Amino acid sequence: MTTYEIILKKRSGKILTNREIDFLVNGYTTGAIPDYQFSAFLMAVYFQGMNFDETTALTFAMMRSGKIFDLSEIPGLKIDKHSTGGVGDKVSLILAPLVAACGITVPMVSGRGLGHTGGTLDKLESIPGFRTNLTEKEFKYQIKKIGVAMMGQTKELAPADKRIYALRDVTGTVDSVPLIAASIMSKKLAEGIDGLVLDVKTGAGAFMKDFVCAKKLAKVMIEIGKRMGKKVVALITGMEQPLGNMVGNSLEVIESIECLKGNGQPDLMQVLIGLAEEMLMMGSRGKRHEVRSKIENVIKSGAALERFRDIIKAQDGDVRVIDNYKILPQAKFHSRVKSPETGYIQKIDALQIGVLSVELGCGRKTIDDKIDYSAGFIFKKKIGDQVEKGESLVEVIGQDNNKVKFVSKKLLSVFKIGAVKVKPPQLIIDRIF
What's the pLDDT band for 57 if we cut at 50, 70, 90? very high
- 307 has catalytic annotation: no
Q: What is the pLDDT of residue 231?
A: 94
The catalytically annotated residue of 78, 81, 140, 168 is 168
pLDDT digits (tens, 9 = 90+) for 373-396: 999 999 999 999 999 999 999 999
- 168 has catalytic annotation: yes
Distance (Å, whole) CA 126 – CA 123: 5
- 349 has catalytic annotation: no
The catalytically annotated residue of 89, 122, 161, 175 is 161
Residue 418: Cβ within 10 Å count: 12
- 183 has catalytic annotation: yes
Distance (Å, whole) CA 360 – CA 371: 9
Residue 8 makes CB contacts below 8 A (sequence gap 6+) with none
Distance (Å, whole) CA 252 – CA 266: 15
- Provide the residue ranges of all domains of the chain, joining segments of one domain with +: 3-49, 79-322, 330-418
* Domain at 3-49: CATH architecture: Up-down Bundle (1.20)
Angle of the 288-300 helix axis to the 266-282 helix axis, nearest 10: 120
What's the pLDDT band for 110 if we cut at 50, 70, 90? confident
> Which of 175, 234, 180, 179 lies closest to 208, judged by CA?
175
- 304 vs 110, residue with greater confidence: 304
State how far the alpha carbon of 430 is from the alpha carbons of 30, 89, 159, 176, in Å.
40, 18, 33, 21
pLDDT digits (tens, 9 = 90+) for 173-228: 988 999 999 999 998 999 899 999 999 999 999 988 899 999 999 999 999 999 98
The catalytically annotated residue of 78, 82, 201, 285 is 82
Q: What is the pLDDT of residue 284?
A: 83
What's the pLDDT band for 112 if we cut at 50, 70, 90? confident
Q: Cβ(199)–Cβ(83) under 8 Å?
A: yes
Q: Cβ(249)–Cβ(363) under 8 Å?
A: no
Q: What is the pLDDT of residue 1?
A: 86
Q: Are strands 428-432 and 231-238 parallel, antiparallel or unpaired?
A: antiparallel
Round the average pLDDT of the chain to a whole number and report it: 94
Q: What is the pLDDT of residue 170?
A: 83
The catalytically annotated residue of 116, 187, 294, 381 is 187
The pTM of the full predicted model, rounded to 2 decimals, is: 0.90
Distance (Å, whole) CA 134 – CA 154: 7
For the domain spanning 79-322, the CATH number is 3.40.1030.10
Distance (Å, whole) CA 183 – CA 237: 20
CA 271 to chain centre: 13
pLDDT digits (tens, 9 = 90+) for 280-305: 999 987 788 899 999 999 999 999 99
What's the pLDDT band for 162 if we cut at 50, 70, 90? confident
Is pLDDT above 80 for 113?
Answer: no
The catalytically annotated residue of 83, 110, 176, 183 is 183
Q: What is the pLDDT of residue 239?
A: 96
- 285 has catalytic annotation: no
> Which of 264, 231, 248 lies closest to 94, judged by CA?
264
Q: Please name the fold of domain 330-418.
A: Aldehyde Oxidoreductase; domain 3 (3.90.1170)
Dihedral angle at the C-alpha atoms of 46, 356, 112, 61, nearest 10 degrees? Answer: 0
Residue 412: Cβ within 10 Å count: 14
Q: What is the pLDDT of residue 175?
A: 83
| Encoded amino acid at 81, one letter | K
Is pLDDT above 90 for 80?
Answer: yes
